[in-house]
């Protein structure tokens, strides 16, 4: 805000803010004597129990390979660990091998792939 004189101010910039909107009942509407204590990210729902407050995130989590976790109110991959030094891609919920470690420069700065470090595929040969 900039002072323009004569008791007037000019707004020279805008700022977007995110506001939380509660659509469920409050504790005052519940008939429970003791208010439930909800975890961070949870609100008291219409059934007077703790529910995830970010319902839009929950709706966006449907489909694909991710699953909604009601305990943490987050959209998570069912895979938590990748074997063989793989790294979990949390966008696609898939384990990935980083090929950079298999292709490092030699003393002269040339890239020569050491194929012995690449994991081998296992398959069955049928007679």
Give CA–CA dist 116/121, Å, rounded: 13
Average pLDDT over every residue of 6-10: 79
Average pLDDT over every residue of 101-125: 67
Q: What percent of the chain has pLDDT over 70?
A: 70
pLDDT at 95 over 70: yes
Report pLDDT for 115: 67
pLDDT in tens, 44-83: 887 788 889 888 898 888 777 889 998 889 999 988 888 8
SS3 content of the chain, % helix, strand, coil (to 5): 15, 20, 65
In the chain, how many H helices and how many E strands? 1, 8
Among 43, 49, 41, which Cα is nearest to 23's?
Answer: 43
Higher pLDDT pick, 32 / 50:
50
* Largest pairwise CA distance in the chain: 95
Q: In the chain, where are the structural domains located? A: 21-64, 77-115
């Amino acid at each position: 805000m900039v002072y323009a004189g004569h008791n007037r101010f000019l707004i020279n910039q805008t700022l977007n803010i995110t506001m939380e909107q509660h659509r469920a009942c409050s504790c005052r509407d519940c008939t429970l004597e003791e208010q439930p204590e909800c975890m961070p990210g949870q609100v008291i729902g219409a059934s007077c129990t703790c529910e995830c407050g970010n319902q839009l995130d929950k709706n966006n989590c449907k489909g694909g390979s991710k699953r909604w976790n009601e305990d943490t109110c987050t959209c998570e991959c069912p895979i938590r660990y990748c074997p063989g030094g793989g790294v979990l891609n949390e966008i696609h919920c898939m384990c990935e091998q980083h090929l950079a470690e298999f292709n490092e420069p030699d003393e002269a700065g040339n890239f020569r792939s050491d194929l012995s470090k690449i994991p081998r595929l296992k398959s069955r040969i049928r007679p």
